[in-house]
Structure 1
């Protein structure tokens, strides 16, 4: 038996870490420890520089950007790179914006790692769908206005069919649910049309939050029937979260509602 060869083989590992919405102070302690102990970090485009700065000085940083509407690193390539680095003995951290398991493709990466015989660790992060409304003081499940939350992506997988916004609207209206829409900016016109067609009232309050928790955060509040027009007028873009539902009414009490919402109080 060649003991020298056997002892020289390092055991690699992989941790999928949710970097949260951007503010490094919102990281969990477990996430910060994992980042600091990594020898290789595969970093998504939306992870802030302040979070990446927590890596050890000798760590190798690999940018594998994924952002809607822009050229992205193919998911299959990321998965192969994850496996290769772990099998090479590296302590790999896959650093993902928000939470790995909320529209973060973490499930696909876990499946690829397990298929290669690697059991990853997953560290949750604060997802933008929670952080964005919280920045505005909007509770997603205020009991006077909502009995639950639906987290929905506005960007469907190619070949996976279109989201039935009318059905979602009917469900949200009947069950008093808040809709939190990720990656919905490019499809805002269709989302607005579908939600109105499905029965959500025109005066349903909506908030759009861009770059939540960061210094350059922006937001706008409007009625549902002004969603697309407000996004265009205010030049809001990705990454943004769209929050639809009566929980947004609380912004009026805080004096946060800008000009597009004067009729919001006149609810039919």
Structure 2
């Protein structure tokens, strides 16, 4: 009987992939993978494994999500072991829930294999802990790119004014909107920020600044990139370890 493994590939460094994810990749008959999964992972696949790319480039869907759902389903009618490989974790803005429901509605067995999310690991590789005693006891992970179909934003911006760490994923193209919104609401202009490009990989670049100047400082960074806003950014001077 076919089984689909909705699998987190981790943030980029191939050694941050879980043992379970590596095992199912090696056993897969087909791997349906996205842009953010380290391409070296595909080298683990067996020789006759079919590889199907369904990546998204800079916010533009090369394959619409509804079609991706159907590709996974059709693969389950043809193969026994299907791996849907996603960068990071399937359930952290990875639409793994949508794919799981699609399979459930069609009586296809599936398993979720969590992955290390970039929301925590990428700041760690930049020397930025998302929590730190005496500075912040909480953090939130926020999408920086809401679907254009939404008429009303689900982001409650007014709740972003405390001192918890805020990590924006998929938000680099909206960084000016994000920083201006926070300053307009009253967050101080010199509040610490960081942008981390291609985190956990040899191409990682980190720029630090404030709400007021981070847009200009980070303008030349390549994607993918995440935004970290919080006093913990200042700890990078002492904790920075990955170069």
For this structure pair, what is the TM-score category when the shorter chain's length is used for normalisation? over 0.9
Instruction: Give the one of 116, 122, 125 matched to 1:126.
Output: 116
- Shift in CA distance, 163/154, structure 1 to aligned 2, threshold 3 Å: farther
Question: How far 1:158 sits from its partner (Å)?
Answer: 2.0
Match of 1:48 in 2: 38
Structure 1 residue corresponding to 2:225, chosen from 236, 240, 246: 240
Preserved CA contact (<8 Å) 2:192 2:231:
yes
- Aligned: 1:82 with 2:72: yes
Deviation at 1:252? 2.9
State the Cα distance separating 1:42 from its structure 2 match.
0.2
Farther-moved stretch of structure 1 (155-164 vs 57-66): 155-164
CA contact (8 A) 2:30 2:79 kept: no
Q: Which has the larger radius of gyration?
A: 1
Contact 1:208 1:240 in 2 (8 A): yes
Structure 2 match to 1:4: none
Structure-2-length-normalised TM-score: 0.93
The structure, 1 or 2, with the larger RCO (C-alpha pairs under 8 Å, 6+ apart) is 2
Q: Secondary structure at the match of 1:120?
A: strand
Describe the SS at the equivalent of 1:103: coil
Q: Is the 8 A contact 2:144 2:170 kept in 1?
A: yes
Q: How many residues align?
A: 241
TM, length-normalised to structure 1: 0.85
Report deviation, 1:99.
0.4
Shift of residue 173 of structure 1?
A: 3.0
Residues 164 and 194 of structure 1 are in contact (CA less than 8 Å); yes or no, is this contact kept in structure 2?
Answer: no
3-state SS of paired residue (2:165): strand
What is the rounded CA distance, in whole Å, between the counterparts of 2:79 and 2:166 in structure 1? 43
Report the equivalent of 1:262. none
Of 161, 174, 181, the residue aligned with 1:173 is: 161
Match of 1:153 in 2: 143
